[in-house]
Structure 1
Amino acid sequence: MSNTKMMRDSNMELLRIVAMLLVLVVHADFASLGAPTKVEVMNNPYLSIVRLGVESISIISVNVFVLLSGWYGIKMKRKGLIGLLFQSMFFGILGVFLCNSLSLFNAFLGINFGGITSSPASAFFSIMMINFEDYWFVKSYVLLYILSPILNAYVNQSSHKQFKTTLILFFIFQFLWGWYYGSVGFFSNGYSTMSFIGLYLLARYIRIYQPSFAKYYKSLDVLAYIVLIIISTTLAFVGISQGWNQLYDATYKYNSPLVIAASMAFLLFFSKIRFQSSIVNTIASSAFAVYLLHTQSQMYTVYTKTIRRWFETENNYYFLLNTIILLFAVFVLAVLIDKIRIYLWDKIAEAIFIEKM
């Protein structure tokens, strides 16, 4: 196999990097600070609009990652599945170790993060992802990975019309019963394999059949993304200011039609940029580690409480500066640590003949 054939599309690998940066951002906004309250919106509307806008921009991150999997199609292999679980557990163990070590310095630092130490039993549960909050994305994605041969078989064997009809009916069902009121639980506001299946099939359909809206100039993709951000921000602002909590909540669900459409426009824009970069590809190969490092349950407590403390004690300039530095530090650290994980995994895979599975 030639190096050219092995080279990944750097435009889409760059999208993978951007998506992970947006994951850091979305967790630094509402997840850390909480959504603006009605009082905050009325007293400081400009800051509230900025925060709502940031949430609208970054909420697409999870969907984009799943759409990327659908864009290329998952090729189910036992080595890949075991490698994904190894990576998740590697960072789970690392998170437990770092947080238990950090707790020893709490008194010295004068900071009480709370909830970052763990007993052996709770540490085991965290590493094994027993609780919902422990790497929910990994568990939903692992099931998507397991189901991918079935999904791929359907994509390959169905007609264009049948595939299109299935997608339309799927999203009608999701938007009607799984989105605004969430009257069925298996969509879980987009935090589920069921929602991932819809995104996966949507990306496969667009990649294979290239519908007319996917062929527009990339400038129109950007325009669509901006318009959708403005609409989401406006709806959320109105929902909070008027006390319409259902409207606000629905705006930022992962299975919201606005969020899905914005995610798709974002992906289509990057799909029309053509370049190759070994540096981008190398960084992107460890992008998922960024999620794994900072969302390990105890690390996530440190991450969100640190940002919350800065928000409450620093002025806007220093809060923004500190947060940006933290985001990039977490990203760089995760990528560097993941290179160690890759080295270890290659040795383990070679030792147990995983490559022959």
Structure 2
Amino acid sequence: MTKGTKGRETNLDLLRVVASLMVITVHVGNVYVTGERDRVDYNFIVGLFYCSISVSVALFTFLSGGFLLAKKENSKPSYFYPSILKRRILFPTLFWSLVYVLLAYMEEIVEDYANISPFEPFAPLVMLLKGQPCYHLWYMFMLIGLYLMVPILMRIKCHLGESNFMTLGVLLTMFAVPLSLWGELVWMLYFVKYLGYFILGYSLKRYYQKRSKSNAKTFLLLGISIWIIKYISVIMMVHYNFLDPLYLLNPLSPFNILQAILFYLFFLNITIKRGSKYIRKLSRYGFYVYIFHAIYVSIIRALSFKLMKCSYDPLFFIPLVTVIVYMLSLSTAYIWMELKDRYRPLLYS
């Protein structure tokens, strides 16, 4: 593994940065895909291409499992729940949920004033109760469940052994495929569908840590091949009006499972020789880039499509806005973390 300072693995730091860019790209491109799907035009096709890199949820879950299930002290509930679960997930989820509820009310007021849509006083609260105060925060609510399971999973691992624990991860991932077709679970059960990813993140990482590096290019080429096949399959399903084509973009579709595993194996098997310092810095801000990016995506969407009512070529709009949103989110994350370090008692989240 490529180690950075304090035991950090630079290849996985790079994966965090790439996964963050994937998340932003999908959320920027969604505006071309989730609208009127009956009109399959150029904008829809190009937007669909960008949205087809929908493996970021799996990659982030792999990373979380690979980190949390590898630390022996996390098997002790008396240590893990108060020091890790409460501080890293519960408090931040509560804080940022309230922030986004307030922002949702501001958006409701602005859209009502601009005659875009009528004011709905209970809509933000309903979304909060559903565990989705903003479209990206569902992942935080899902992580609460996974974090609660960490000490339990580590005891199961000790009982089963490493090989059988990996098998359990495979079986749970396979079980999640039909489960994902049954519709949305209540937010308290979001995590059930991602337990397999969580376990495999640990097991695959441990497997390759104990072996010499494989040919990373092979994993990358196979992952890209699955991506292309998935994209073509979605286009064909749209063309022939067969089932729900956007299911293949679901984080738990068979295509996404294979693509995510192959991309994860690629990053596990690469060696970073240059730029480690900058990669680690970018990775350090990854959580807050994820938190803040939705604000900028929403602002740009509102200005471009709702207020100005403009149409832009997605081939240029999506990558350009992705870069702009990432840089703005990164800058905001840097400012926020500097303020936290300076005024931690007041700005703890």
Normalising to structure 1: TM-score of the pair?
Answer: 0.75
SS at match of 2:252: coil
Match of 2:179 in 1: 178
Match of 1:224 in 2: 222
Distance 1:60 1:143 in 2: 20
Name the CA shift for 1:66/1:169 in 2 (closer, same or farther; >3 Å).
closer
User: For this pair of structures, how many residues does the alignment match?
Assistant: 329
SS at match of 2:129: coil
Cα offset for 1:326? 3.7
**CA deviation vs aligned residue, 1:52-110 (integer Å, no higher than 9, x gap):** 221112x1111111111122235435233233333334444544566666788889xx9
SS at match of 2:40: helix
Identify which range, 277-286 or 228-237, moves more after superposition.
277-286
Alignment pair present for 1:61 and 2:53: no
Alignment pair present for 1:287 and 2:289: no
Alignment pair present for 1:156 and 2:168: no
What is the CA RMSD across the aligned residues, in angstroms? 4.0
Maintained 8 Å contact 1:307/1:323: no
Distance 2:99 2:165 in 1: 43
Name the CA shift for 1:213/1:235 in 2 (closer, same or farther; >3 Å).
farther
Distance 1:98 1:50 in 2: 30
Alignment pair present for 1:273 and 2:275: no
Match of 1:130 in 2: 129
Name the CA shift for 1:164/1:271 in 2 (closer, same or farther; >3 Å).
closer
Match of 1:51 in 2: 47
Distance 1:67 1:310 in 2: 39
Gaps of 5+ in 2: 75-79
Maintained 8 Å contact 2:168/2:196: no
Cα offset for 1:139? 0.9
Name the CA shift for 1:267/1:99 in 2 (closer, same or farther; >3 Å).
same
Match of 1:8 in 2: 8
Name the CA shift for 1:345/1:251 in 2 (closer, same or farther; >3 Å).
farther
Match of 2:77 in 1: none
- Which of 246, 250, 257 aligns to 1:249? It is 246
Give the number of the structure with larger relative contact order, counting CA–CA contacts within 8 Å between residues 6 or more apart: 1
SS at match of 1:236: helix
Name the CA shift for 1:261/1:72 in 2 (closer, same or farther; >3 Å).
same
Alignment pair present for 1:87 and 2:95: no
Cα offset for 1:339? 0.8
Maintained 8 Å contact 1:49/1:233: no
- Which of 316, 331, 348 aligns to 2:329? It is 331
Name the CA shift for 1:36/1:223 in 2 (closer, same or farther; >3 Å).
farther
Name the CA shift for 1:100/1:30 in 2 (closer, same or farther; >3 Å).
closer
**CA deviation vs aligned residue, 1:111-149 (integer Å, no higher than 9, x gap):** 66658x896x877777xx433322211111011011111
